[in-house]
Amino acid sequence: MSGDEAGRALLGQGAVIIWNDVVPDGRDQFYAWHDKEHIPERLSLPGFRRGRRFIRPGHSPEWLTIYEADDLSVVSSPAYLERLNSPTPATVSSLKYFRNTSRAVCRLVYSVGASSGGHVLALRMSVPTAQQDAMSAYFATRAFPLALSATGVVACHLFVADGTASFTHTAESSTRQFDVPSCVVLAEATTEMAAAGARSVLETDELRRLGVNVREDAAVYALEICRLSLEAA
């Protein structure tokens, strides 16, 4: 569902969103693997459109990675699961250095804005199932339009995690512990200040009255790498 008929900041209706830290001894290996192997490998799978990695130095979790795909079926497809069940040696080795990991296989619920930003405010949330529709309406009709009216904020997105797809046991998932946030909000902006300012508009008393809990470690991340698939290029 999109609130912007003129264009889309996201390249699809499905996503895999990952937060993680890396222990100091594994940082060099993480960059070599993630830049040159992992992101290209994921984007070689049918239906994957774009991979972006962001960083917040000194924050935990330090990295945020977003893989955009055509729809939820792509990020739970047999081709994707086959890759997760056949991790490369570098993948197995690199994931051993991961700490404080969240991973959500998501469907896009609502998106507004036609541009991608170099800074992203990322909110991990839990919400009672009975309040999901009210939460979606809150973001679509009030919070997102208000956030987007601020200078520098160029897009806002609401995702809901698919529990079955997120918790599917694979050879890769067994290499590390992770949690799954039930919902994710991303606000993309051209400046760090604009992205940070969006939090006060998105996370309000009205949202809390709906029973939505936003993790205190929400943060603004800066873009490190962006790669398009051949399908999207």
d(Cα 114, Cα 177) in Å, to the nearest integer? Answer: 35
d(Cα 174, Cα 207) in Å, to the nearest integer? Answer: 35
CA nearest to 98, candidates 153, 40, 151, 20: 20
7 occurs within a structural domain: no
Percentage of the chain beyond pLDDT 90 is 83
Q: How many domains does the chain have?
A: 1
Residue given tokens 């993790």 in the structure block: 215
143 occurs within a structural domain: yes
70 occurs within a structural domain: yes
Amino acid 123: pLDDT? 98
170 occurs within a structural domain: yes
4 occurs within a structural domain: no
Q: What is the pTM of this model?
A: 0.93
Amino acid 149: pLDDT? 97
For range 8-14, the mean pLDDT: 93
Radius of gyration of the chain (CA): 17
- The parent domain of residue 23 ranges over 14-228
d(Cα 195, Cα 219) in Å, to the nearest integer? Answer: 9
CATH (domain of 121): 3.30.70.100
**Residue 16 confidence class, pLDDT cut points 50, 70, 90:** very high
d(Cα 211, Cα 220) in Å, to the nearest integer? Answer: 23
127 is written with which tokens?
């919400």
Q: What is the pLDDT of residues 67-116, one digit of tens each?
A: 999 999 998 888 988 989 999 999 999 999 999 999 999 999 999 999 99
29 occurs within a structural domain: yes
233 occurs within a structural domain: no
Q: What is the pLDDT of residues 163-221, one digit of tens each?
A: 777 766 676 666 667 889 999 999 999 999 999 999 999 999 999 999 999 999 999 99
Amino acid 6: pLDDT? 41
DSSP string of 169-180, one letter each residue: --TTGGGS-EE-
| Mean pLDDT for the chain overall | 92
2 occurs within a structural domain: no
For range 149-171, the mean pLDDT: 86
